[in-house]
A and B are shown apart, each in its own frame.
Chain A
Amino acid sequence: MERADLIVIGGGPAGLAAAVRAKEKGVERVLLLERNPVLGGILNQCIHDGFGVLRFGSAMSGPEYAARFIQMARDAGVEAICGAMVVELSPDKKVTYITPQGLFEVQAKAVILSTGCRERTRGALAVPGNRPAGVYTAGVVQYLMNMRNIAFGKNVVIMGSGDIGLIMARRMTLEGARVHCVLEKLPFCSGLPRNVRQCLEDFDIPLCLAETVKEIHGDDHITHVITAKVDEKGRFIPGSERTIPCDVLVLSVGLIPENELAKACGIEMDPVTGGALVDGDLMTSVPGVFSCGNGLHVHDLVDLVSEEGERAAEHAAAYLKGAANKPMVPVTVSGGIRYVLPRQLTTGEDGYLSMRVMLPGRDRKLTVTAGDKTLVSKKMKRVMPSEMIRLKVKDVPACEQVEVSLV
């Protein structure tokens, strides 16, 4: 059987960064498998700007950001195969993939999963009514509009305030459609404040909080939706209904990590993030299989995705060199934090924590403690569920547990 030292599954920003860093760390054969005809992942359809501010100090479009990494991968000697759909990962790290050239099996010594995420559709599924044409997820609209010049309609309602929906509100407005509103069931926006300003406020598109679609109407093509306000428990408030005529309903109700391969491989999952459970080395429950990027947990900034890919590669490289297992301490959370990742940190090394809060808040303090020792303490002027918080914990001490809390 064909062999590779490291196989990276998914050639988006996470996978590209991982593959490049692995080569830099001296891993010999790095095989990057991507099911699309080109590398770059979801970035290819993100023609708006705002990528790379942290990393390159300039706001680029998605394809520009991707192009830089694709070039780096080429220069570093990463072997990339596009049009390669990975259909199976076995616990002993045999990877099966399909391309028009055939069905192939490759034995890897280590694997990095960087399979990205997919869009949630559940928000719409619960909506009673007909199933007329004209209801799409934001990503589908983004792809067909940006990559294939397709127009969708003239009167748009956007359900859910996820970032892609906000971006498409602006995009569809620029294409001459009227975006009536963005509806959000929660009392706060789930997209980034930056996107609310640039995509909605600048175009006078109303963001309607605590309101959602109650019914979808139209025999063949969608004609209108009935919306209603919801209370704190998510129940419709009688009498608050509005009828909004539309010929497109765009859903932007969240992203979920894509993990079918991981699940079928028996990798333990985290029900909160929808991604794999990983340790301080971003290693999953299957030794030698690592996870990063949106396939691990949904990020809001691509710059951090690339960085996570690089860290996964560093740990994979160390694993391949047979680095001794270092002791890890568990990470626990309390007070308003929805999740923290990873759930373990390696002692004696710098640790990187990613987390999201449950509710928006102001003037909070985030602390990381080990017993009665405070490792990090950070004042937060504003916390938002839409903004991932990242913390570096320097030189994690040997202790019973590390506790993260928000007060």
Chain B
Amino acid sequence: MTKYDVLIVGGGSVGCAIAYALSRYDLKVAVAEKELDVGMGTSGRNSGVVHAGFNNRPGSLMAKLCVEGNEGFEALCKMLDIPYKRTGKLIVGYDEADHQALIKLKEQGEKNGVKGLEIIDGAAIRAIEPDLPASWAMLSRNTAVFNPFLYSIHLAEASAQNGVQYYLNSPVTAVEATEEGYRVQAGDHVLTCKTLINSAGLFADRVSAMAGDPSFTIYPCRGEYYLLDKGTLKMPVYPVPRPGVGGLGVHLTVTVDGNILIGPSADYIDNHEDYSTTEPILDQLRREAMILLPTLNMRTVIGTYAGVRPKLVKKGEANFGDFVIERSPKAKHLINLIGIESPGITASMPIARMVLDILSEDTELVEKPDFVPTYRGIPPFAELSRAEQRALIEQDPDYGDVVCRCETVTRAQVKRALHNPIGATGVIAVKNRTRSTMGRCNGGYCFQRIVELLLSEGKAPQDIDLKRRGDRPLLGYVKGGQA
């Protein structure tokens, strides 16, 4: 079946949120994603913070949708079994000028409708985070952190459970207008649709052009990060925003699992998918992080990564680039989502609702009686009580076989990740769903065990993918060797 009412291009958080929102209705919906799994673009390469909405210009879509997104985020995470923690956040300053800037920031936030903002002094800061040297801070109580991988994945899997079809490893390379919509080449598949929803992130300008609207140019702006082992930081710590800097400035974040992130930088680059980290920027991150938290232990670094912002403003341009969420004025079957940079994940559900409104202009939305809104992911074995762990092992002995020692991930979890409902493949599908290979040993222990599991399921070593189709972590068997 290759005829769809709606085809979503891009399985990032925004595309998956739209897919989930649409799966409530009696429509044939598909998602085409070029990578092996959903959430592999910007949605898997960010700070993982549910923003409160005080950073965004009053009156902008960004501000409105961020505040709405923040309000509904916790309930959504509960419904879809996405790890979430309302940590609060500190924006810190050092002198009177910073103090004044924080007061302004609070005013802006309140104008946007953000609740739970408070200016606090050094003593109050240290009551929260004893090692911060800052003298002033704005405490934002409603800021939270979440697992960005599971966010896209659980939205996708929940929508798949309600009938959305996922085409992974299927880059959209050609879009042809037809009488009733589009015919789309997505990897090996030819798909037709009445409405094309373009949530292709960094490539949304190109997909829009393919579909007949060449109005946009996206300027990639990279943010590099350090990932540290679990630490004692309780909440994200950001510097007072400085004008002229793209992004929110280098900050410290805690992930929902307790790891510490340092980043992101903000540098315009040429290649949209150049996710490399670079020596001078990593240096800069280290320096700036030490100002925020001088006691930070850089010996606990377990990795670096980068994400790329899909900016609509060029380097040096002072303009404000708001989200573009519209039915294309040039192509009536195309709904465009362009320039969805931070706080795009926070805002993704309100964005999806906006898209539903736009879609309903020409498409009838009839609720399905059998829609299941909730989703349960793979049990996070390590976080369960001993009694719960015991019960799981009794149910399935594979829960008693620990594959990843750092994160205590079991064979049962890895198997479920490998046989996920959207057909994501590669070691990455396991990593994103279970945290296996993400611990402090960087996969030294579990990688070989995941490989063994794949081999035991009949996969040839040369057919195993790590992160992308054909990246071939393994060459094959040694001469004369076999399984």
Contacts and interface: CB of A to CB of B under 8 A. Distances in A.
Interface of A: 35, 83, 85, 87, 96, 98-103, 118-119, 121-122, 125-126, 128-134, 136-137, 139-140, 143-145, 148-154, 175-176, 214, 220-221, 247, 260
Top 10 closest A-B pairs, CB basis?
A149-B481, A100-B397, A220-B471, A100-B400, A133-B471, A133-B466, A85-B402, A121-B442, A133-B473, A103-B390
B422 to A, nearest CB: 21
Interface stretch (B51-59, B212-220, B297-305, B372-380): B297-305
Contacts of A153: 475
20 contacts: A83-B400, A99-B401, A100-B400, A101-B400, A102-B400, A119-B444, A122-B299, A137-B444, A140-B443, A140-B447, A149-B477, A149-B481, A149-B483, A150-B478, A150-B481, A151-B475, A151-B481, A154-B475, A221-B472, A260-B406
B445 interface: yes
A122 B402 contact: no
Contact of B279 (A128, A130, A136, A152): A128
Contacts of B304: 125, 128
Contacts, number: 131
Nearest to B406: A260
A338 to B, nearest CB: 17
Interface in B461-483: 461, 466-468, 470-479, 481-483
B2 interface: no
Nearest to B475: A151
Contact of A102 (B394, B474, B477): B394
B168 to A, nearest CB: 16
B235 to A, nearest CB: 24
Nearest to B298: A126
Contact of B301 (A122, A133, A145, A151): A122
Interface stretch (B73-81, B236-244, B448-456): B448-456
A99 B400 contact: yes
B324 interface: no
A153 B462 CA distance: 11
Question: Most A CB atoms within 10 A — which of B274, B442, B461?
Answer: B442
Contacts of B303: 125
A399 B396 CA distance: 59
Nearest to B396: A100
Contacts of B470: 220
Contact of B477 (A96, A126, A131, A151): A151
A355 to B, nearest CB: 23
Given A121-B441, A129-B277, A220-B468, A148 B452 contact: yes
Contact of B386 (A96, A214, A247): A96
B400 A133 contact: no
Contacts of B476: 150-151
B451 A103 contact: no
B393 A152 contact: no
Contacts of B276: 128-130
B322 interface: no
B143 to A, nearest CB: 28
A214 B278 CA distance: 10
Contacts of B448: 140, 143-144, 148
B408 interface: yes
A87 B407 CA distance: 11
Contacts of A134: 472-473
B301 A35 contact: no
B467 A98 contact: no
Contacts of A148: 448, 451-452, 455, 483
A98 B475 contact: no
B400 A98 contact: yes
Interface in B84-98: none
